[in-house]
Amino acid sequence: MAEVFYVGVDVGTASVRAALVTREGLLKSTAQEPIGIWEPESDHYVQSSTEIWEKCCTVVKKVTHGVEKSQIRGIGFDATCSLVVLDQSFQPVPVSQEGDPQRNVVMWMDHRATEQADRITKNGHRVLSRVGGVMSPEMQPPKLLWLKENLKENCWNKASHFFDLPDFLSWKASGSLTRSLCTLVCKWTYCPPEGWEASFWTSIGLDDLLENNFSKIGSVTCPPGSPLGEGLTQEAAADLGLDPGTAVGASLIDAHAGGLGVIGADVKGFHLPCEGLPITARMALICGTSTCHMAISEQPRFVPGVWGPYLSAMVPGLWLNEGGQSVTGRLIDHMVKGHTAYTQLQEQVQQRLPFAGENIYSYLNNHLSSMANSCSAVDLLGSSLHVWPDFHGNRSPLADPTLKGMVVGLSLSQTLDDLALLYLATMQALALGTLHILEAMKEAGHEIRTLFLCGGLSKNNLFVQIHANTTGLPVVLPDQTEAVLVGAAVLGACASRHYSSIQEAMEKMAKVGKVVQPDSEVQSFYERKYKVFLRLLAHQRECQALMSQR
């Protein structure tokens, strides 16, 4: 019998990727294409949905080249939670003052609507209890309000369809306007089974979205992985190089696809503390440009400063809490590439490339090992340099977009050693931020025993080890390094009816690759460093309070 495949498509911040995946969850081929990002003003980040779809088609054709179309039974999409705006004819509508209609996507990391988010928070509507009590500028209601208040003629009055990017992709593929519960529940305040809270939209000045049963933002919903429409439309099939009718699964936000790709793996035989316990004893960290912290519960748990609880947003029938850090990989890049010694670092890496195949981060990891004594851990090098990592505000557990980054312990020295230490201190700060989120979730009743990491940063061995050491929890890495793409393929597998549920598909297609245990010898070091971390927060807030006085 011919082998059966599924296609997973992942639209990240700066690239589109696709994978051809077997029914056992093994990646047969992958492809990647870059996508443009424009910054017309400070904190405004926009993209083109036309370009994104074209790149999706390119990568799908690449990974399916040489495979019979009949062997491909399903396709699933995940994407960043960016906002796509289309008119009545489904043509792009501009989202910036410059008026280019092809730039019709407000990116997830766009913070133009911070003031609108503050107003929505002060409004105090009950829907805020499901987003940690604070409306984030990264969610869709404040972005919609910004468009109405600032681009009423050129955008708002012309717009007939507002999509989360994952839903835009599944619509392009299937022609179905049905929205995924993942996007609407996590980013739009939708709450199953009741649905939209009309009073919320009216109270924030967006009552015009109530028209035609909320048709502009979604009248019909379904759980992730549900089959959409009649599968691929004739047009989409031609664009993607696949057969019409190929099953299309309801989409996921990219981080949630990563969650599907790791959190449900069978852990028997790995001697993990979560073995024999329900999936609620696990947390998935999807670590890339930013990091999302996914925890599941059988009952709703309200965690201050943490998004959720969201019913059926990732795993149908279970509640999701979603913590996060707005910049992680991006912050590491910022710290390293902005340092005076970065040019020297590049030269050192270039000299070693032909022999070791190193990148700048593997080189820095090795450099830190050489700096440490043979009898002491690399972690201890960070004893006198401390970072507060909220250079783009705090998503969780403080939900404060006004917070800024801090570095304490700098000297006049700017050597390669200093760059390596700053890199180390930044990763330690990010891991301490994860601990901060874990502590908040623990107080609300979550009992997390094991961390499951995926995404680009999970390929950095030192980043992973520091997370294990800081939290005191074992870290599981997936067998397939591109777990987000496996999660997207899970959607296609479910839509094809090969698996009866998301839970079954996760268990069969997600596999444990490696387990990283915490180093007990540095436990007391991180206990002290966490106290310093919290004092940095207190100091910044004290400074803010002093400077706000008149």
Instruction: Indicate the residue among 236, 252, 268 that finishes a domain.
Output: 252
pLDDT at residue number 271: 95
Which tens digits make up the pLDDT trace of 522-548?
Answer: 999 999 999 999 999 999 999 989 998
313 domain-assigned: no
pLDDT at 492 over 80: yes
Cα separation values, 240 from 18, 224, 244, Å: 11, 21, 10
Which tens digits make up the pLDDT trace of 192-204?
Answer: 989 999 999 999 9
pLDDT at residue number 442: 97
Would you say 138 and 81 are in contact if contact means Cβ atoms under 8 Å apart? yes
pLDDT at residue number 351: 86
CA–CA gap between residue 333 and residue 260 (Å, rounded)? 27
Q: Span 468-494, mean pLDDT?
A: 96
Instruction: Indicate the residue among 204, 220, 252 that finishes a domain.
Output: 252
Q: What is the band of 1 on the pLDDT scale with cuts at 50, 70, 90? A: low
22 domain-assigned: yes
pLDDT at residue number 357: 62
Element (H, E) at 512: strand 512-516
CA–CA gap between residue 529 and residue 547 (Å, rounded)? 27
Range of the structural domain that residue 55 is part of:
5-252
Residues 70 and 181 in one domain: yes
444 domain-assigned: no
CATH of the domain at 417: 1.20.58.2240
User: Is 4 buried (19+), middle (13-18) or exposed (0-12) by CB count in 10 A?
Assistant: middle
Cα separation values, 463 from 264, 466, 467, Å: 23, 5, 6
CATH of the domain at 167: 3.30.420.40
168 domain-assigned: yes
Residues 244 and 343 in one domain: no
338 domain-assigned: yes
Give the chain's mean pLDDT: 95
Residues 529 and 402 in one domain: yes
Retrieve residue 313's tokens: 């947003």
Residues 349 and 205 in one domain: no
93 domain-assigned: yes
Q: Span 3-9, mean pLDDT?
A: 97
Rounded to an integer, what is the distance from CA 320 to the centroid of its chain?
Answer: 14
Would you say 200 and 189 are in contact if contact means Cβ atoms under 8 Å apart? yes
Q: Helices (DSSP H) in 224-341: which residue ranges?
A: 234-240, 254-262, 329-337
pLDDT at 376 over 70: yes
- What is the Rg, in whole angstroms, of the alpha carbon atoms belonging to the chain? 23
285 domain-assigned: no
User: For the chain, what is the domain count?
Assistant: 2
Q: How many CB atoms lie within 10 A of CB 369?
A: 14
pTM as predicted: 0.89
pLDDT at 115 over 80: yes
Retrieve residue 40's tokens: 């017309």
Which residue has tokens 């230490």? Answer: 421
Q: Span 409-416, mean pLDDT?
A: 97
Residues 187 and 56 in one domain: yes
List Cβ neighbours of 549 (8 Å cut-off, separation of 6 or more).
Answer: none
Return the sign of the alpha-carbon dihedral for residues 274, 279, 283, 288: positive
Instruction: Indicate the residue among 206, 231, 252 that finishes a domain.
Output: 252
Q: Span 498-520, mean pLDDT?
A: 93
129 domain-assigned: yes
Residues 48 and 169 in one domain: yes
Q: Span 428-449, mean pLDDT?
A: 98
